[in-house]
Structure 1
């Protein structure tokens, strides 16, 4: 690899997983306390856990890949945004605590998200849910789930074929428009609508527990980059609502509406 990345992809994977686990441990220490909730300029919530995790992740990534730029949610909110684009060879995309609302609700469905973007495409990513003791990783060699922090069990994961008895559709636990979702699904046979927090929605498709995630609302690139990397490594796709490939490094880092799915699930895109 170039641009300051380790030549050994295995070393990069191990380093990335270690950074995510350290950030998750810091989050869990704060999770046990009576933490304070503040509002950012866009009215979204932030806690000291978001900041503590970022304070671990950024130096860790700098040490792992000294010459690779980093775009991270909390730094971006403070105005620290490096110049990257869809043409940039490599950059890290970080959400130190994805699902802050789930963290505040204490339902466990929050994650540490770190993705490596190459020319607009997520090529490696880790999604770590410390309260659930689940770590998802996606890279050139495929996707896997590591469960149980003290006695880890690793399982290779892939998307599943479309179930004959109906698909499982995942949606946001804290956001969403039921009527818009119903209109998008149209005549698809749906067996279950399953709410889930944070980027775990993409990971559920990656591990074959769900089939489709239409996102008909606002998200930012750091919200889904790592989950996209896991899903792509598991054989899934993330696309714009017109079927075009989804890219990263857009000027404002804001996402259009999108759909994440197993390729066996047919959808009708808007022109």
Structure 2
């Protein structure tokens, strides 16, 4: 099947081009960089950024905010109604560890809300596409499969996305408030949000620092798949009436804590 939006097809193509640039460096022996001024991570990040910005400018006249070009003033940014939000390479630790859990992220933001998102994991040859109001899909190889978030049912073990290592006291407090057993589902980068979008996890509480480009694309995928991405108050972690996570509404591009839930 094809995606029901030609622009989404183009954005996925761009994400794949960026992924090719990243993989060309990822597959090298990182030891060759030891005597050079650049790192494989920096080189891959910039190569992906350059191809994404160039290609987006060829199909759209909207501004682009990327992690690699984040020095745009708030005075300019606050005039934007629509823009592209890009993280050329999310999951720096995963890239360095070579575990494959890193992603290319491209989101279309409209009035503070993600309306389209593409998350592409080049080492896994897996893409996630979300079109809010139209649906969400996962692509492995050539086939698109519709995805949807799955609500927790009584008696079922809660599957919670989290860190592979240390769990903070705030996370432990949230888990203690859940009724029933919990199981940690570990994953890197923006793929954490995608696990809720595909129904492989029920919750992803984020009680640590992230920037808007870390979440925009996967937020669109999660929303399109029927999940919610809401601001999380650690003192009241299961507040169902929390406001939606929003973008470009303040000078800082840091996100508040948030919860992805089905």
User: TM over 0.5: same fold?
Assistant: yes
What SS does the corresponding residue of 2:185 show, helix, strand or coil?
strand
- Structure 2 unaligned runs (5+)? 234-241
Give 1:54-133 correspondences, 5 Å limit. Answer: 54-66=49-61, 68-76=62-70, 79-80=71-72, 83-85=76-78, 88-133=80-125
Change (3 A) 1:239 1:198: same
What SS does the corresponding residue of 2:64 show, helix, strand or coil?
strand
Aligned mate of 1:49, from 32, 44, 47: 44
* Residues 174-211 of structure 1, C-alpha deviations (whole Å, 9 max, x = no match): 7x643221112223124310111000010010000001
Change (3 A) 1:59 1:173: farther
| Alpha-carbon distance in structure 2 between the residues aligned to 1:74 and 1:94 | 9
- Structure 1 unaligned runs (5+)? 1-8, 40-44, 263-271
Displacement of 1:34 after TM fit? 2.9
Indicate if the aligned counterparts of 2:23 and 2:122 stay in contact, CA closer than 8 A.
yes
Q: Which residue does the alignment assign to 2:10?
A: 15
Displacement of 1:93 after TM fit? 0.5
Displacement of 1:161 after TM fit? 2.0
* Residues 121-179 of structure 1, C-alpha deviations (whole Å, 9 max, x = no match): 0000000001011100000410000002xxx12100000121432210001347x6432
Indicate if the aligned counterparts of 2:193 and 2:222 stay in contact, CA closer than 8 A.
yes
Q: Is residue 258 from structure 1 mapped to residue 258 from structure 2 by the alignment?
A: yes
Q: Which residue does the alignment assign to 2:129?
A: 137
What SS does the corresponding residue of 1:131 show, helix, strand or coil?
helix
Displacement of 1:84 after TM fit? 1.9
TM-score (norm 2): 0.86
| Alpha-carbon distance in structure 2 between the residues aligned to 1:28 and 1:248 | 30
**Structure having the larger proportion of residues in helix:** 2
Q: Is residue 185 from structure 1 mapped to residue 175 from structure 2 by the alignment?
A: yes
| Alpha-carbon distance in structure 2 between the residues aligned to 1:172 and 1:134 | 21
| Alpha-carbon distance in structure 2 between the residues aligned to 1:190 and 1:256 | 27
Change (3 A) 1:184 1:52: same
Length, aligned pairs only: 243
Displacement of 1:100 after TM fit? 1.1
Change (3 A) 1:116 1:190: farther
Q: Which residue does the alignment assign to 1:154?
A: 144
